[in-house]
A and B are shown apart, each in its own frame.
Chain A
């Protein structure tokens, strides 16, 4: 594991003081170490705190004039209704997409989806693929798969472009390069593309735009994600700000859209509340610069647009989540990232520490299904259950309750519906909780025990790591509340 890079002031960096940090592979099994590294890295801490503070404020401002609770309830209802009818809606979506000339493919897992996409590329002799932002493609490690087959996959979303350039992974689902500040980005682009160093974000953006523009023109295939797939019309909606989504889906001769099966909505009108919630929750925008509605390939009389449009519907564990009426709520997610923006844990450790495609609260409730509770054993517990995520979720996913549910699954007291259920059950912990349970259901012994703790408080341990590494040890009071109340009752009786 690489050492945390020391923070450099922008001046130092601009003079070329920073070296590109070596590439670090993050893994959910090393959450503690990765969190430790991030907490000790002032650059990471500062970048995330600043960015998250800004995003929280923007979201607050964006909803000022709205009846947010009503809108959230509407969003939750729309998503719940879609999920309730999911199997039917998926078939309807397939029919209507096909009627629009969109070719529909189904993939059981990420590997199958990768293979499907690779074969689509290979059968068309495609060597260059350009990508709009797609978290599902990250989830299935599509780029690595394609590159192995000799197909170049270039990220065209600015944040993704930077992250790919740095050979990293996204640290946020909406803002993939949010862990980098302007001077780090300047240094990276200088290193990799040879541009002049600058702290002017517009100049950097313009440089990236120029670098990417030609690549759109020469790409054989454009690959995008999907925000909402409308069953009744067979329309794929794509929300974006940079125009890279528009270019990806219109310039190359082939467009492949890839998405999780849960992204389907029933009616076109269902998109309106979800879109209103998505942009405001994510970036505080009333509307994004681009909202693409893709309803098929180029028609005979049209002069532009892709000649083929494909939709790859990926399950990858979602059907299993779907089987459990409580865990099902996880699939309501519209990937706005508000839960991470408001998470006190995410804000402090950043996105990479989680070691998962989706970080933060949504990652903690989703990734155990994809990777199993063994690999993600430290994620569901990495929450104080403060509830900030659930409070801001635009589709009212009860994230804290689902975290508790996954903890229950991890210690083997759940329904066993999550891979790796019971993996955290240990004799030591079970014994501790059983002892606690016995004491707390035998009040005489409880009073005896707590009373003793008070009587011998001088002997109470002052060193109780890890608590006392950062706080003084709590010391039992000389008399418990039980004892005080008993005394009081005695006094009252005697008087």
Chain B
């Protein structure tokens, strides 16, 4: 179980770790994260030398390679500001696995310090910013898929839905087996494509069956998987990163 986290007061500045998937495929979601944070009066620092958290290599067992990449990221956050990660999976990697990767090494202290400053975006908005959202959008039925890393590794099953529930015109519907994995799992989708496909097919059906008009996730891996599958199957239902949805409806 994730230990109880004591949340700090709202800071003046934060770092943004954009994640490689957002950087390459969903940069607009990254910009929406910046806008959401700035609206809370927080200055967002985006270290230009950030690349990838190292998770793909880590989960594939290539820990030496992952460690070198992770070490390069550790050096980017010199000031004691919180580090916002708009992904439970990268956030979980940095919070949980960085200390494991650097245990008993000269970077142990640095890794633990960085880990303690990692916040997943929805967690930060709810627990640190205590954000209040004013909905300006049309009525809509929406489903949320919380990533397994956010839900289980970071213990954040509630923060995404809490934000959506603040949107007065939005009805949050719950798909059956909402806590079940969408089948992405990084390299799992490539190493075991058929099993992964069976999982994402079920996830798509479940979200549709909940009569959602749209869905959001807090992880671009799940988004790429579920949305990519629905597009492949020529379904009308589309998804987006929760940051984009929140910004669009409240801007």
Contact = CB atoms under 8 A, between A and B. Distances in A.
A384 B185 contact: yes
Contacts of B51: 439-441, 443, 446
A469 B193 contact: yes
B140 interface: no
Interface in A441-480: 441, 443, 446-447, 450, 453-454, 466-477, 479-480
A472 B151 CA distance: 26
Contacts of A413: 61-64
A187 interface: no
Interface in A334-384: 344-345, 348-349, 378, 381-384
A433 B69 CA distance: 11
Interface string B38-80: 0000000010111110101111111111001100100000000
A471 B232 contact: yes
Given A384-B188, A470-B193, A477 B152 contact: no
Given A348-B198, A476-B25, A388 B61 contact: no
Given A411-B62, A450-B23, A481-B22, A35 B193 contact: no
A344 B61 contact: no
Contacts of B68: 437, 441
A323 to B, nearest CB: 19
A386 B181 contact: yes
Interface centre among A408, A434, A469 (most CB of B within 10 A): A408
B119 interface: no
A438 to B, nearest CB: 9
Interface in A45-60: none
Nearest to A348: B198
A232 to B, nearest CB: 31
Interface residues of A, number: 66
B61 A437 contact: no
Interface centre among A32, A344, A411, A488 (most CB of B within 10 A): A344
Contacts of A424: 61
A434 B65 contact: yes
Interface stretch (B26-34, B105-113, B163-171, B205-213): B26-34
A387 B181 CA distance: 9
Contact of B194 (A35, A439, A443): A35
Given A386-B148, A484-B31, A39 B23 contact: no
Nearest to A471: B228
A485 interface: yes
B58 A404 contact: yes
Contacts of A481: 18, 22-23, 27, 30-31, 46
B224 to A, nearest CB: 5
Contact of A477 (B27, B149, B186): B27
Contacts of A468: 232
A36 B30 CA distance: 38
A470 B197 contact: yes
A70 to B, nearest CB: 10
B231 interface: yes
Nearest to A469: B193
B225 A485 contact: no
Given A36-B194, A348-B195, A471-B200, A408 B61 contact: yes
A352 to B, nearest CB: 14
B24 interface: yes
Contacts of B251: none
A39 B198 contact: yes
B184 A384 contact: yes
B73 to A, nearest CB: 9
A407 B57 CA distance: 11
Interface string A51-87: 0000000000000000001000000000000000000
A138 B148 CA distance: 33
Interface string B160-193: 0000000000000000000111011111111111
Contact of B56 (A436, A479, A482): A436
B1 interface: yes
A116 B192 CA distance: 41
A390 interface: yes
Given A388-B148, A434-B65, A467-B189, A475 B25 contact: yes
A136 interface: no
B16 to A, nearest CB: 8
B153 interface: yes
11 contacts: A345-B199, A381-B187, A384-B184, A384-B185, A384-B186, A408-B62, A443-B50, A470-B200, A471-B232, A481-B30, A485-B30
6 closest residue pairs by CB, A with B = A384-B185, A407-B61, A471-B228, A466-B193, A386-B181, A387-B152
Interface of B: 1, 18, 22-28, 30-31, 34, 46, 48-52, 54, 56-65, 68-69, 72, 148-149, 151-153, 179-181, 183-201, 224-225, 228-229, 231-232
Interface of A: 32, 35-36, 39, 69, 344-345, 348-349, 378, 381-388, 390-391, 404, 406-411, 413-414, 424, 429-430, 433-434, 436-437, 439-441, 443, 446-447, 450, 453-454, 466-477, 479-486, 488
